[in-house]
Amino acid sequence: MGPRARRPTMTSAREEILGRIRAAKQDLDLPPVEVDWVYGRTTGDPVHRDHAQVVDLFVERVEDYQAVVDRAGAAEVPGRVVAALQRYGATSVVLPAGLPDDVVAAIRDAGVEVREDDHLSPAQLDEIGAVVTTSAVGFAETGTIVLDHGSGQGRRALTLVPDIHVCLVRADQVTTDVPEGLAREVDSIRAGQPQTWISGPSATSDIELSRVEGVHGPRTLHVIVSEG
């Protein structure tokens, strides 16, 4: 009996598959695909909404994830932030650079211990009760908030370690769905900025489907949607 044929390695098999794909693509000369997408149209639903309805849907979907949502005028936001921290008994908070000055001043005046993120370690962050951030964009269809960690949003660890996350979302940041939202994030994506997508407080389920919160991130998500 002759020698047994050698099986291809994982690497060689991968290269063979990719080689076939490249060869197949060389014969293609197709025009760009036009995606039929209209602002305000929901998935599988041809109804067009005005922006107020889009914001309403965003609030509804965020609440579906068991997050708390406040709707407030712009001038009310600082007071709502303080009220949220007091509601959950947070005695300390980490504030990223770029947070609105009136929000920072209101938190300091409320007597909450403020920590600035001067390269705090995970252990130090774990000792802090809450974090307050702004956001980049929200998707109404999925109730998702996206942070691209620009000004006012801090680095990823700030929104993953403290147990309470108070997140500020302007109504004009809310988009109908993911395609529209990502279109606004093109520059940050091309710049290689990290993104954190948040759909409610951190939660998981064990094999018996018992819900456990706070395993992979904040146990509490409090969203303040500012309008006007």
Local confidence band at 22 (pLDDT 50, 70, 90 cut-offs): confident
59 falls within a domain: yes
pTM of the model: 0.76
Average pLDDT, the chain: 85
| Structural domains of the chain, count | 1
Cβ atoms within 10 Å, residue 42: 15
209 falls within a domain: yes
The whole-number pLDDT of residue 118 equals 87
**What is the pLDDT averaged over residues 152-162?**
93
pLDDT at 53 over 90: yes
95 falls within a domain: yes
22 falls within a domain: no
Q: How far apart are CA 188 and CA 199, in angstroms?
A: 20
176 falls within a domain: yes
CATH of the domain at 206: 3.40.50.10420
pLDDT digits (tens, 9 = 90+) for 66-111: 899 999 999 999 999 999 999 999 999 999 999 999 999 999 999 9
41 falls within a domain: no
Domain of residue 134, residue span = 50-227
**What is the pLDDT averaged over residues 39-58?**
70
150 falls within a domain: yes
Tokens of 169: 């979302």
More confident site: 40 or 190 = 190
For tokens 């709502």, name the residue: 80
7 falls within a domain: no
